Amino acid sequence: MSLTLLHGTAEVHSEEATSILLAWNWEPTVVLGLVAALLGYGLLAWRLYATHGRFDGRAAIAWVFGLLAVTVALMSPLDALADTRLLSAHMVQHGLLMSVAPPLLLLGLYPRLVVPVTRPIMKPLLRDRRTHAVLKAASSPGLALGIWLVVLYAWHVPTLYQWALRNEVVHIVEHVFFIHAGLLFWLPVIEPVPTLTRMKLSEKLAYLAVAQVGTGVLAAIMIWGPPLYPFYESSQTFWGLSTVADQRVAGLTMMVMDMLPALSVAGWILFKSLTVEERRERSINRKEEAWRVI
Amino acid sequence: MSFSLDLRRFVALAVAGLVVLALAALAVVSDSPQWTAVFAGGLLLAAGFVVMAPCQLQMSGALTVVLRNLAAKKAEASGARTVRRSAALFALGYLLFYLPIAGALGGAAWLLGRYSWVLMVAGGMFTIVLGLAVLGLLGRSWLSRCRGPLYLLRSGRASFQKPFRAGTAFGQYCASCCGPYLYALVVLAGATGSFTLGVGLVMLYATTMVIPFLLPALLAPESYTTLSSRLSTVLPRLDEATGIVLVGMGLLLLPVAILAAGL
């Protein structure tokens, strides 16, 4: 049964709508990647449990939810909706890949889990002065922030964005860029392992604020600016949403999906820094007590 | 509370302000309502994190005070279950308080229509005054007692014994500071033509504040014990940050209101 015309554009037939909403994309490379990530983590956690008798359950849950966010972004019906019908759905997908999955995955990592694997690789590199300097430059928060903003803006330039919609290889490259830029961006904030460049609490908050300025400006262009992506004008709309309204919702979605992790992580880093401060104070007090006893 | 302003920071802020004003002038001169709206909206959204983060962190501080009071009443009250339950009630109180606020802001934008920018100017000036009061720069003014949730506690206007009432009290504090910012957002978003749009946007804002507040309480309730022991050092710094943000937000709202007047 077809729906009536709205805003001069044709609505998607309800049978087609149902088929899109049930379309799971079991892309073999994505499935293999996710399974490998899950098994790899499980192996590390099992090894840690075998040697130390425990592992961080909450971190494991964060890892699983991070992989779930990637699954929803790339394999659920959201992918079909984003690729063919709704810009706002595509923003949800991008938000999951850049702002939801990466911090969750990084929260799943911690030194005891990761260092046994990274130490054999990193130690010789860090011992060499030249590679140490390169690694230090590469791990600079300024560089990570710059890459994140460039990737965010570049892939939303209409020419590149629509090329990705029309070419599957370019689309995959786009998603790879988003995930990696996201991981690089959140790394100096969450610091799952000690990094070469450490930021103070105020610097981390300023880092998040600058990133949100970038998101805010892009979101404003999508909300108040002219229609950016003619691709969606040629496709049929969904749920009575015009292409102009869809773009506005997309801008709002981008803003909210970036703001929620930023605020959540801001609270988390505050709590974490207070815990570190308190532990440091307790350790100093214990040492002072020990000296007094002596 | 005394406030010292670093000269370099002042110069940096002044330069940033001049750049913003220059871009605003360009937007107006370009005579394009669309790009004027983009510019005005961009200013507001770009400031979103800076506006929301101090307030959202203060929410955690306010909940910590509630938990302390509950723990003082009942010896077993500092457990994870109490933290989660209190946080949920606090969030509910906050959201319910924001419902009439959403109606008021959306209604004001809808009723005032093309003159809604006037209220934006008034809101911007009020925010600057509020920020100066929080920073302790208004000596004997009736606003000088406004020190955020601590004021609500000391004045007895908030009950920090009951999480739900503390949530509504915090909503009152939050709305008085963020109200002008939210009003500017809903006006630019087109709430002058749609009451429900205005209401929806304000409630979306309130929900976006509540979710990051709830997450540590639900997932890591033990972190509130640490916050409680450090509250006396954290809250004054948050208060100072809030004061600076309020002054900055007020200064931002003035050019945004002028841009909105031209739309």
- In chain B, residues with a C-beta closer than 8 Å to the C-beta of A270 are 57, 60, 234
- In chain A, residues with a C-beta closer than 8 Å to the C-beta of B53 are 205, 208-209, 262-263, 266
A256–chain B Cβ distance below 8 A for any pair: yes
Question: How confident is the model at residue A185, as a pLDDT?
Answer: 95
Question: How confident is the model at residue B37, as a pLDDT?
Answer: 86
Q: Name the range with the highest mean pLDDT among A111-115, B132-136, B138-142.
A: A111-115
pLDDT of residue B3 exceeding 50: no
- Please tell me the distance from the alpha carbon of residue A79 to that of residue A89, in angstroms, as a whole number: 8
Burial class (CB in 10 A: 0-12, 13-18, 19+), A15: exposed
User: Two tokens at B32?
Assistant: 């394009």
Q: What is the pLDDT of residues B198-224, one digit of tens each?
A: 899 999 999 999 999 999 888 888 888
Mean pLDDT (whole number) for A206-232: 91
Residue with tokens 């939810």: A65
Question: How confident is the model at residue A126, as a pLDDT?
Answer: 84
Element (H, E) at B2: none
- In chain A, residues with a C-beta closer than 8 Å to the C-beta of B230 are 274, 277-278
A64–chain B Cβ distance below 8 A for any pair: no
Confidence of residue A3 (pLDDT cuts 50, 70, 90): very low
Q: What is the pLDDT of residues B59-107, one digit of tens each?
A: 888 888 888 888 777 655 568 888 899 999 999 999 999 999 999 999 9
In the chain, the amino acid numbered A26 is W
CB atoms within 10 A of CB A142: 12
Q: What is the pLDDT of residues B151-169, one digit of tens each?
A: 555 555 555 678 898 888 8
Chains A–B, number of C-beta pairs less than 8 Å apart: 104
Q: Name the range with the highest mean pLDDT among A150-159, A239-248, B80-89.
A: A150-159
Note the Cα A27 to chain centre separation in Å: 20
In the chain, the amino acid numbered A119 is R
Confidence of residue A285 (pLDDT cuts 50, 70, 90): confident
Question: How confident is the model at residue B220, as a pLDDT?
Answer: 85
Question: How confident is the model at residue A24, as a pLDDT?
Answer: 86
Q: Which is it for the CA torsion B245, B248, B251, B257, positive or negative?
A: negative
B5: nearest Cα among B260, B196, B248, B258: B248
User: Which of the two residues, B94 and B259, has the higher pLDDT score?
Assistant: B94
- Please tell me the distance from the alpha carbon of residue A233 to that of residue A23, in angstroms, as a whole number: 22
The answer to which of A50-59, A94-103, B132-141, B225-234 has the lowest mean pLDDT is B132-141
Is there a contact between B234 and B126 (Cβ–Cβ < 8 Å)?
A: no
Question: With an 8 Å Cβ cutoff, are A255 and B209 in contact?
Answer: no
pLDDT of residue A175 exceeding 90: yes
Question: How confident is the model at residue B2, as a pLDDT?
Answer: 41
Q: What is the pLDDT of residues B19-58, one digit of tens each?
A: 667 666 666 666 777 888 888 888 899 889 998 998 888 8
Question: How confident is the model at residue B29, as a pLDDT?
Answer: 63
B219: nearest Cα among A253, A280, A56, A185: A56
Residue with tokens 């109490």: B82
* DSSP bridge partners of A6: A9
Is there a contact between B45 and A217 (Cβ–Cβ < 8 Å)?
A: yes
Burial class (CB in 10 A: 0-12, 13-18, 19+), B94: buried
What is the complex's ipTM, to 2 decimals?
Answer: 0.85
Question: With an 8 Å Cβ cutoff, are A216 and B45 in contact?
Answer: yes
B152: nearest Cα among B160, B164, B143: B160
- Please tell me the distance from the alpha carbon of residue B167 to that of residue B59, in angstroms, as a whole number: 8
- Please tell me the distance from the alpha carbon of residue A242 to that of residue B7, in angstroms, as a whole number: 50
Question: With an 8 Å Cβ cutoff, are B48 and A216 in contact?
Answer: yes
- In chain A, residues with a C-beta closer than 8 Å to the C-beta of B188 are 224
Confidence of residue A294 (pLDDT cuts 50, 70, 90): low
